[in-house]
Structure 1
């Protein structure tokens, strides 16, 4: 499996009505306007989103652990809404910050 997975969105797609003028939706996800597509993927610019702690064991500093969805949570689950808000905070913090390190951000602002 490719270790450099990318999240693809349609160009300029409005994700749940959160189309911000400060953000550009492009073919590798939500990035700042100054996106450099030739940038290398590393722990400093990648967040691993998983529902089990085991999967992030070797990359704990950039592992974001979310609750596992069960069918009993069908009408009460809000984990993806919380995740979306957190990822928008990460994105806003990284805008125009070329030295942004997501591991530092996650250490100072843990996902709850």
Structure 2
């Protein structure tokens, strides 16, 4: 994690013990509890009505990657990074296009001619 985050960055995760060292490595760390019976998916720590602590974005990204890879019915680990790069490009392209359309006040999708 420390190789891919800046000093002082806050990392939002579940409570997996592998993340326990983040605070000692100079990273802020906030968690949500996914333990059965105590499940929380997001938390509002400062009481302003916005749930700042969650890891739903990342979980959604992994779910989208799995869906993207499923039609290939298994791929070699040797080429996995290339499949992930194509997915990353497509994911970012759609995200940027949607953001630009929103900023311009345009609909997110163009109506099709019938």
TM normalised by structure 2 equals: 0.28
* Relative contact order, higher structure (CA 8 A, sep 6+): 1
Higher helix share: 2
Greater gyration radius: 2
TM normalised by structure 1 equals: 0.28
